[in-house]
């Protein structure tokens, strides 16, 4: 089996604001002395792992990333009839196994039941927490030290196996990510533009005030984005406890999500959902490398040239030149091209799985 699978994805988004910065405007990056629109890897990974594709394909094999597990435990204990004082003490003991508590004292928002940093709980750990919570409620006593050994090395959580987990206080239970995801950038120079808009009051007949009831402004941008993923299939399989079938299901879900699922930022305002226009898949045991260098010089079509076709040409030339200089950088390649009607998604999935 080839160890590495690399995906090079080109997706065209119409005017959108899929991933905002701290001012609410689309994120950007300076590359090749030109400003590009950017989609962070974090926003894309969250969109994929919370998508219907993952939920349906990998039901029972997805974790939960949260600070609030303690609040759920506390609610369950209270519902079972445990006094507030006891429920709070037991909850803190359980939650503290997954990270330092946010506060030592009870607060109005129950911050003493939250952990400071987001923790990714595996299905096995969630089940263990629920079992322990029920046991404590049934017998009416606090969890023992042995029972509080709730952390485990996830072996059934696909999202953790793919994207990793870091627990600062208990590094022994960290998981190295088997899937590396780049920030997606436009292959061409791009600008953030401003959308000035007004809203009219439906009950205002204009007899007294004919003006708008609200005036606003939001940023947006459009472009053809390049995204790179590197999948370590051996590590993914290891992270999933050696389960071949689950590894195959995971790869299928990932390919489907990467090609079909977009970050959700301002979708109601822009309806900017998009499928990938072009995907190049490579596999082999060679050291992986991105093809982002193909776009150091921004793509700039002339006359009747097509942006997508020019981007594909640039990528093709780049991997061919890599092969000439470094030797064959991949054993096998497969692509789908929507513009030309070449390849199919099921064949792409099979290529990545095999």
When pLDDT is cut at 50, 70 and 90, the band that residue 218 belongs to is confident
When pLDDT is cut at 50, 70 and 90, the band that residue 197 belongs to is confident
When pLDDT is cut at 50, 70 and 90, the band that residue 209 belongs to is confident
Tokens of 27: 């994120």
pTM of the model: 0.93
Rounded average pLDDT over 308-322: 98
DSSP 8-state code for residue 176: -
pLDDT at 222: 96
pLDDT at 315: 98
DSSP 8-state code for residue 202: T
Helix/strand/coil (H/E/C) assignment for every residue in 23-76: CCCECEEEECCEEEEEECHHHHHHHHHCCHHHHHHCCCCCCEEECCHHHHHHHH
Whether 352 has a pLDDT exceeding 90, the answer reads yes
User: Pick the residue with more confidence: 205 or 160?
Assistant: 160
Whether 133 has a pLDDT exceeding 90, the answer reads yes
* Least confident interval from 119-133, 210-224, 287-301: 210-224
pLDDT at 36: 97
Whether 55 has a pLDDT exceeding 90, the answer reads yes
Whether 333 has a pLDDT exceeding 70, the answer reads yes
List the one residue out of 196, 198, 193 whose CA is nearest residue 214.
198
Q: Are 104 and 136 in contact (CB under 8 A)?
A: no
Backbone angles phi, psi at 75, to 5 degrees: -65, -40
Residue count of the chain:
354
Whether 260 has a pLDDT exceeding 70, the answer reads yes
pLDDT at 262: 93
Percent above pLDDT 70 for the chain: 100
List the one residue out of 176, 173, 170 whose CA is nearest residue 99.
170
Tokens of 49: 């792992």
When pLDDT is cut at 50, 70 and 90, the band that residue 120 belongs to is very high
pLDDT at 199: 86
- Distance between alpha carbon 184 and the CA centroid of its chain, in Å? 12
pLDDT at 1: 67
């Amino acid at each position: 089996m080839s160890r590495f699978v690399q995906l090079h994805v080109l997706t065209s988004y119409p005017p959108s604001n899929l991933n905002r910065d701290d001012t609410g405007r689309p994120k950007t990056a300076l590359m090749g002395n030109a400003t590009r629109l950017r989609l962070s890897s974090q926003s894309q990974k969250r969109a994929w792992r919370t998508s219907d594709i993952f939920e349906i394909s990998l039901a029972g094999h997805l974790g939960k990333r949260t600070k609030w597990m303690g609040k759920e435990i506390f609610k369950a204990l209270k519902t079972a009839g445990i006094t507030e004082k006891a429920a709070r003490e037991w909850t803190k003991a359980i939650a503290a196994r997954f990270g330092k508590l946010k506060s030592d004292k009870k607060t109005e928002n129950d911050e003493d039941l939250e952990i400071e940093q987001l923790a990714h709980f595996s299905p096995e750990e969630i089940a263990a927490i629920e079992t322990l919570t029920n046991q404590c409620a049934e017998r009416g006593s606090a969890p023992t030290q042995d029972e509080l050994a709730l952390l485990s090395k996830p072996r059934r959580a696909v999202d953790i196996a793919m994207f990793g987990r870091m627990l600062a206080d208990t590094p022994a239970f960290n998981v190295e990510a088997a899937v590396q995801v780049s920030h997606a950038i436009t292959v061409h120079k791009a600008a953030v533009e401003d959308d000035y808009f007004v809203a009219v009051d439906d009950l205002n007949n204009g007899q007294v005030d004919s003006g708008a009831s609200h005036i606003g402004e939001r940023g947006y941008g459009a472009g053809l984005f390049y995204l790179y993923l590197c999948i370590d299939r051996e590590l993914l399989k290891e992270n999933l406890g050696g389960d071949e079938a689950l590894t195959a299901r995971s790869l299928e879900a990932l390919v489907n999500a990467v090609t079909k699922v977009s970050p959700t930022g301002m979708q109601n305002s822009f309806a900017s959902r998009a499928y990938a226009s072009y995907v190049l898949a490579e596999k082999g045991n060679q050291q992986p490398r991105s093809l982002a260098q193909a776009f150091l010089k921004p793509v700039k079509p002339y006359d009747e040239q097509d942006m997508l076709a020019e981007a594909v040409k640039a990528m093709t030339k780049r991997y061919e030149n890599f092969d000439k200089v470094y030797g064959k950088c991949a054993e096998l390649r497969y692509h789908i091209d929507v513009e030309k009607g070449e390849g199919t998604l099921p064949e792409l999935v099979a290529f990545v799985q095999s």
